[in-house]
Chains A and B, each alone.
Chain A
Amino acid sequence: MSVLIYIDNKDGLLKKSAFELASYGFEIAKNTNVDTLAVTFGEIADEQVKLLGKYGVKKVIKIINPQLLGFSAQAYSSVISEVALKESAKIVLFGNNFDGRAFSPRVAVKLNAGLAPAVVKLPSSYTPFIVKKRAFSGKAFADIELSSEIKVLTLNQNSFHIVENPVDTTVETFAGTVPAGAYAVKPIEVTINSEKLSVTDAEILVSGGRGLKGPENWGMLEELAGILGAATCCSRPVSDLGWRPHYEHVGQTGKVVAPNLYIALGISGAIQHLAGVNGSKVMVAVNTDVEAPIFEAADYGIVGDVFDVVPKLNQALKKFKESN
């Protein structure tokens, strides 16, 4: 029996989220006395996948199959399910990202498994199996009970700490079977965004709202993001107005994020905005309006004009970074 973790890998490098998943998976495996295994697709160097060993993963199964012609939710889910059955996985774990959300429902159906999406904690009980998940777009949480023999979970990003549990890792390859017709939906073209750090991966986010007045004023936000090693993002009207690219839009209808630090600049803090960002560990707000609801969600606030505060903050942070 095992806990099987799906690790996404598009550029041959593992992301921090992979180690979060491994740490979470290992903790469940330890509590249920089974091994932690991982599955990933494509050519990825053994030294890379072996990094998972530091977080308790005993075996990594690399899927190499020339019939896999790029992303296909149907094909990938089918092969992941095959691996799960072969390895008698009782828990199949995904990140709650685009891949995890595409594969987990299909894998759950294949394995007759209950699915707990967007979990934020370790299970509070194993028999019965109960785990806490995000609900109502971050306005609440819910305990979900899964009564199936196999369980599929997707772990919300940034909700579990990375813990080292070094073990020796072996690497195997497996081909799996690609179902007929899976490529009736054919990938034609992939475009990668120009930003270096994606909004969902960043540990610090600098977010701008309509208070910034226009796209020409984002220079100081980019500077702030640069100093902090952060990514930039924005409220919905800002992306609707075309001031910023749509993939930067966070909130209920945009991306759901959970960085360590979220800096909201000129954002009023509408309930739909907060729904996507209230998982942030620490929130800072700068707004001219002392009554703005963002101050109810923020941990630290400055009532002030972004055009005055942000340049000063950039200076102060530069000084801080130089001396630390």
Chain B
Amino acid sequence: MKVLICIGHVPDTTSKIRFTDNASKFDKSDIQFIIGPYEELALTRLLDIKDAGTDLHITAVNVGPVETEATLRKALAMGADEAVRVNAEPLDALFTAKQIAEVYKKGTYDFIVTGKESIDYNGGQVDGMIAEILGIPSIPSASKFEIMGSVAKAEREIDGGKEVVEAAFPFVIAAQKGFAIDPRIPGMRGIMAARKKEILVFEPSEQANITKIIHHYLPEAKSACKKVAADNVEELVRLLHEEAKVI
């Protein structure tokens, strides 16, 4: 079986967020980029399935400029079999989804895996868009995933509960917490092997951008925390009632 896993290239979760060019652009200086945490879980799960004996060929794909190859290289080190980079700035979700759909059509993939959202612009869009462009079903916010012969079984989180689904191939599945427990850390062998693997570079297909990020804001600075003495909880109750008006 062949799977396409969509790897985002995002700022490390501990990054201090800053902007440049009149707050129109994210300031990438001093930022460490990582594989999106949900894609990392997704890839881990695929590798676990493969290690347990399912014949699975894993292609990691990223839409991004040349600097994202370091992130794809990490996916290869974790154990992905090959990598594809579509050479373009991913400025718009529909543009990104279109590129990935094109990569899918060029290969003979059985399904596509993404993360539930990228942690920079928190869209949660690309997975559903790929599925709609290709006209195939999608499984959003999946917290468990198994392949059982010719079908897959997944669990997805819903408002107030969970739902188990059975899926015929192909489909797009978006991984969230639970998909795998801890992300796999690449070993020395993986890192060495990744150096020898080739990253295929495709040029993008035409698709106009219809959305554009034009300005950024940092949250308003919080006023200092009001401290209440531990033996005066009545004062906290009073403040929450009279000042904050939340109880």
Please report A residues at the B interface, Cβ cutoff 8 Å: 8, 10, 71-74, 77, 97-99, 101-106, 108-110, 112-118, 130, 132-148, 179, 181-193, 198, 200-201, 204, 228, 240, 246-247, 249, 252-254, 260-261, 271-272, 275, 278, 281-282, 284-285, 295-305, 308-309, 312-313, 315-317, 320, 324
Contacts and interface: CB of A to CB of B under 8 A. Distances in A.
Given A114-B211, A181-B137, A298 B225 contact: yes
17 contacts: A73-B137, A74-B132, A74-B137, A101-B140, A109-B132, A117-B125, A136-B11, A137-B13, A140-B216, A141-B218, A144-B214, A146-B210, A185-B167, A185-B168, A282-B240, A295-B225, A301-B225
B237 A317 contact: yes
Interface of B: 11, 13-14, 17, 19, 37-38, 92-94, 97, 119-129, 131-133, 135-141, 143, 153, 157-168, 171, 177-178, 181, 210-219, 222-223, 225-231, 233-234, 236-237, 239-241, 244, 246-247
A284 B92 CA distance: 38
Contact of A114 (B160, B210, B246): B210
A136 B119 contact: yes
B45 to A, nearest CB: 15
Most chain B CB within a 10 A radius of its CB, from A130, A136, A191, A315: A136
Given A73-B128, A140-B219, A312-B233, A187 B165 contact: yes
A142 B91 CA distance: 13
A137 B239 CA distance: 29
Contact of B236 (A71, A193, A200, A313): A313
Contacts of A136: 11, 17, 119-122
B212 A144 contact: yes
Contacts of A320: 237, 241, 247
B138 A102 contact: yes
Tell me the dominant secondary structure on chain A's binding face: mixed
Contact of A182 (B124, B137, B153): B137
Nearest to B238: A320
A184 to B, nearest CB: 4
A261 B214 contact: no
A264 to B, nearest CB: 11
B244 A184 contact: no
A68 B11 CA distance: 40
Tell me the dominant secondary structure on chain B's binding face: mixed
10 nearest A-B residue pairs (beta carbon): A105-B128, A304-B230, A109-B132, A192-B161, A185-B137, A106-B132, A143-B215, A114-B210, A102-B140, A261-B246
Contact of B13 (A112, A201, A272): A272
Given A73-B137, A74-B137, A144-B213, A302 B229 contact: yes
Nearest to B98: A109
A299 B214 contact: no
A253 B213 contact: no
B228 A108 contact: no
Contacts of B161: 190-193
A246 B178 contact: yes
B165 A185 contact: yes
Contacts of A246: 143, 177-178
Nearest to B38: A253
A97 B116 CA distance: 12
A98 B157 contact: yes
A45 B16 CA distance: 49
B214 A284 contact: no
Contacts of B217: 132, 140-143
B159 A97 contact: yes
Nearest to B177: A253
